[in-house]
């Protein structure tokens, strides 16, 4: 490439100066004022070894900006990852809502989506046990609509009044400033033990839903009941669900803990790699639509955000598909500065009186002002309406651009200038009748705190129930206060006695504490709902998943080729792990490139694994502790395992003679069948039989 030496500046450039070379035609670096910078490595000094001069405006401009790079992180949902997407309507809903995205089959609406964890700070790890945020901004023709949801369909509390306490309790304890991104500590469980309405959400939180395998493999929920309003002003209730075409999938807790060490960015890297390799994740938007009559007949109050409507009772019907199609090209500009607000609604979407939603409506604008520093955050690329113009008389304020030109900045005006209100096109709130005395009171219809918690628990498979019990034992085991452990077990007794006694045994409680006092007895008659289980709805496909293949020198190149072909044929990806990150030579002497060294690519990073060693280094690899852990962990995590020339490794890992039906000897069958059978088996999520519970 043609290059030139950057001009040496001034008489003080001494012999220690290393001259940079810059490509000809490259953009010239400038200050914020557009002045070209001659030297970006040295400040202006009085003599080569003298003090830096106050007049160095280049240094001052650069450092000044740097000093102000951070904006306050979100109080909750600080750690997030965003992507651009498109929503396509697959079912016309003009009869029930005038909302723009649903007026015509095939209608496409641009979106921006941000996934997040709730409790941890911006730099915390991705695999914390935590609820995930699932916030979608629709840039519709009639304004921006934000559906700011979570990956769990219910919430901890029923009234916004409690939110700051809940968040304080889960965040690091104020005296010591830890633990980070954990609910496993005293203050969280102390608060929970005093908040029976949280018990349903606690069941979800302790389930595998809160350790998702991928952001691509999570459901999303609007949580609250909203209203859909049609052109005639008629309203129906609605609950929003996002269903991932990739299937809902989770990791195991032991994997989560290890992934956090091996790759704290596991989720964001996974989504980034999917998007940049053209693997575009999709979700169907499904609606549960119902009327007042259904609401009146339903067992619980539809305004209570700690309750869901089982899909067996009211199916969630698909009405459109969201495709994430583009990674952001600048994290800060999009993912950090995106400002979601539950009050960002469009004609056809309206609120209900859910007291949690009403409080959220109040909160989000405050947050955006605090974080983004100006009411003009609405002008940022990620936040401004894209499907329609924004016309009003708002003006000035910090960082304002594009004020209206001319003399008129008010309405009505006699100059006949500027935008006017439009009673037909404009947003009209649904005329919900309101009456009642002004009281601080919780409705009686919100008082049943345990029945749906029980329904969730009995809807899980034996494997899922064990994970949930283990999670409770782990979390409560991290609490130092025995009274807190006992109090929570007292609540569990109102949910399911087996669950309570299992957790009590796991904690070593000498005796079961009495059940917590319940405002309403737990209903035993709610039937299990298959839709609430992950494992009952497994995707039956390897698409979007990753096979980690450990290879060694002299491995069978033909088997490796067949394996790679079979996995990509099934829609999955292969990642190669070798003793050295450059790769290993197969039996034909060809260097097979690797993406990971054995130390850098533990099996927790993959959905299934294969280990193809060769005569040249099978014995050496077997003696490598990380290789032993790779196999031992894959086995313990119920993964499907393909293997060849691994006798020594199985023995060294303590698994001699333990190979079961989830382990496939890829060398035993000389034709392609061995590989094909292995990859076909991997379409099941895991070999749960190994756990003894399936």
Interface ranges with ligand HDE (CB under 6 A): 74-77, 80, 114, 116, 133, 135, 148-150, 155, 160, 163, 223, 305, 338, 340, 356, 359-360, 363-364, 367
Q: Is it true that the peptide bond before 412 is cis, omega within 30 degrees of 0?
A: yes
109 or 225, CB closer to ligand HDE? 225
Tell me the β-bridge partners of 577: 550, 596
Q: Least distance in Å: CB of 146 to ligand HDE?
A: 8
CB 442 within 8 A of CB 512: no
Closest by alpha carbon to 560, among 548, 572, 545, 549? 549
Q: Which is it for strands 235-244 and 282-290: parallel, antiparallel or unpaired?
A: antiparallel
Point out the catalytic residue in the list 42, 84, 144, 150: 150
Closest CB 140 distance from ligand HDE, rounded Å? 19
CB of 74 to ligand HDE, least distance (A): 3
Tokens of 682: 């991997």
Closer residue to ligand HDE in complex, CB, 128/305? 305
What is the CB neighbour count within 10 angstroms for residue 684?
20
Of 61, 435, 125, nearest to 267 (Cα)?
125
To ligand HDE, the closest distance from the beta carbon of 377 in angstroms equals 10
DSSP 571: T
Of 355 and 674, nearer to ligand HDE (C-beta) is 355
For the question of residue 77 being annotated catalytic, the response is: yes
Which one of the listed residues 42, 77, 241, 637 is annotated catalytic? 77
CA separation, residue 210 to residues 75, 183, 248, 614 (Å): 19, 11, 11, 40
| Closer CB to ligand HDE, 148 or 594, in the complex | 148
> What is the secondary structure of 291-321 as a DSSP string?
-HHHHHHSSS-TT-TT----TTTS--EEEEE
How many whole angstroms separate alpha carbon 210 and alpha carbon 446? 25
Q: Which residue is nearest to ligand HDE (CB)?
A: 133
Q: Taking the complex as a whole, how short is the minimal distance between the CB of residue 39 and ligand HDE, in angstroms?
A: 40
- 197 or 496: whose CB is closer to ligand HDE? 197
Cβ 452 to ligand HDE shortest distance, Å: 16
687 φ, ψ (degrees, to nearest 5): -90, 75
Q: Which tokens in the block code for residue 432?
A: 């919900």
Structure tokens at 107: 């209608």
The distance of closest approach from Cβ of residue 351 to ligand HDE in the complex, given in angstroms and rounded to an integer, is: 13
Kindly report whether the peptide bond that precedes residue 343 is cis, defined as omega within 30 degrees of 0: no
CA angle 396, 397, 399 (to 5 degrees): 100
- CB of 283 within 8 A of CB of 264? no
Q: Is 150 tagged catalytic?
A: yes
Tokens 């292995």 belong to which residue? 678
Q: Which of residues 163 and 687 has its CB atom nearest to ligand HDE in the complex?
A: 163
Q: Are 241 and 221 in contact (CB under 8 A)?
A: yes
Asked if residues 631 and 649 have their Cβ atoms less than 8 Å apart, the reply is yes
360 vs 486, beta carbon nearer ligand HDE: 360
Q: Please give the positions annotated as active site.
A: 77, 150
């Amino acid at each position: 490439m043609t290059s030139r030496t950057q001009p040496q500046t001034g008489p003080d450039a001494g012999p220690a100066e290393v001259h940079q070379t810059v490509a000809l035609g490259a953009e010239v670096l400038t200050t914020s004022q557009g002045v070209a910078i001659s030297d970006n490595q040295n400040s202006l000094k009085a003599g080569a070894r003298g003090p830096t001069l106050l007049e160095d405006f280049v240094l001052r401009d650069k450092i000044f900006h740097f000093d102000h790079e951070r904006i306050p992180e979100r109080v909750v949902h600080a750690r997030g990852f965003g992507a651009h997407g498109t929503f396509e309507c697959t079912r016309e809903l003009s009869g029930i809502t005038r909302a723009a995205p649903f007026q015509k089959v095939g209608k496409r609406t641009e979106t921006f989506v941000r996934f997040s964890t709730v409790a941890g700070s911006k730099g915390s790890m991705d695999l914390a046990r935590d609820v995930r945020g699932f916030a979608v901004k629709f840039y519709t023709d009639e304004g921006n609509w934000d559906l700011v949801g979570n990956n769990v369909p219910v919430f901890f509390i029923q009234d916004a009044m409690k939110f700051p306490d809940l968040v304080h309790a889960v965040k690091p304890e104020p005296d010591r400033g830890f633990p980070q991104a954990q609910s496993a500590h005293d203050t969280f469980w102390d608060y929970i033990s005093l908040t029976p309405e949280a018990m349903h959400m606690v069941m979800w939180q302790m389930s595998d839903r809160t350790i998702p395998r991928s952001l691509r493999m999570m459901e999303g929920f609007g949580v609250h009941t909203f209203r859909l309003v049609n052109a005639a002003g008629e309203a129906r209730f609605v609950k929003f669900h996002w269903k991932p075409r990739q299937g809902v999938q989770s990791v195991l807790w032991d994997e989560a803990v290890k992934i956090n060490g091996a790759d704290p960015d596991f989720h964001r890297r996974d989504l980034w790699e999917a998007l940049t390799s053209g693997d575009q994740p999709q979700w169907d938007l499904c609606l549960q639509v119902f009327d007042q009559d259904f609401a009146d007949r339903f067992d619980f109050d539809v305004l209570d955000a700690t309750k869901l409507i089982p899909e067996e009772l009211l199916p969630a019907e698909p009405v459109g598909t969201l495709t994430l199609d583009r990674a952001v090209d600048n994290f800060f500009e999009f993912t950090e500065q995106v400002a979601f607000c539950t009050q960002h609604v469009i004609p056809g979407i309206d609120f209900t009186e859910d007291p949690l939603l009403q409080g959220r409506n109040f909160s989000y604008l405050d947050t955006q002002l605090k974080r983004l520093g100006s009411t003009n955050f609405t002008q940022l690329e990620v936040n401004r309406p894209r499907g329609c113009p924004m016309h009003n008389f708002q003006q000035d304020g910090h960082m304002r651009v594009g004020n209206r030109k001319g003399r008129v900045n008010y309405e009505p005006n006699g100059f006949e200038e500027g935008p006017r209100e439009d009673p037909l096109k404009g947003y009209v709130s649904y005329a919900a009748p309101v009456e009642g005395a002004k009281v601080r009171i919780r409705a009686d219809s919100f008082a049943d705190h345990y029945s749906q918690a029980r329904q969730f628990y009995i809807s899980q498979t034996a494997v899922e129930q064990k994970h949930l019990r283990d999670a409770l034992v782990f979390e409560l085991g991290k609490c130092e206060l025995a009274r807190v452990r006992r109090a929570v077990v007292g609540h569990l007794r109102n949910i399911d006695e087996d669950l309570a006694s299992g957790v009590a045994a796991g904690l070593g409680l000498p005796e079961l504490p009495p059940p917590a006092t319940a405002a309403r007895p737990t209903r035993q008659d709610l039937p299990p709902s298959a839709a609430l289980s992950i494992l009952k709805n497994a995707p039956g496909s390897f698409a979007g998943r990753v096979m980690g293949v450990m290879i060694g020198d002299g491995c069978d190149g033909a088997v490796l080729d067949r394996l790679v072909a079979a996995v990509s044929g099934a829609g999955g990806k292969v990642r190669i792990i070798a003793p050295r990150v450059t790769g290993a030579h197969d039996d034909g002497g060809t260097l097979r490139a690797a993406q990971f060294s054995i130390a850098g690519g533990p099996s927790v990073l993959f959905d299934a694994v294969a280990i193809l060693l060769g005569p040249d280094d099978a014995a050496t690899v077997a003696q490598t502790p990380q290789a032993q852990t790779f196999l031992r962990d894959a086995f313990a995590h119920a993964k499907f395992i393909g293997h060849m020339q691994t006798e020594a490794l199985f023995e060294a890992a303590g698994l001699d003679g333990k190979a079961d039906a989830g382990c496939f000897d890829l060398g035993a069958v000389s034709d392609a069948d061995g590989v094909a059978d292995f990859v076909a088996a991997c379409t099941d999520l895991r070999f749960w039989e190994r756990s003894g519970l399936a």
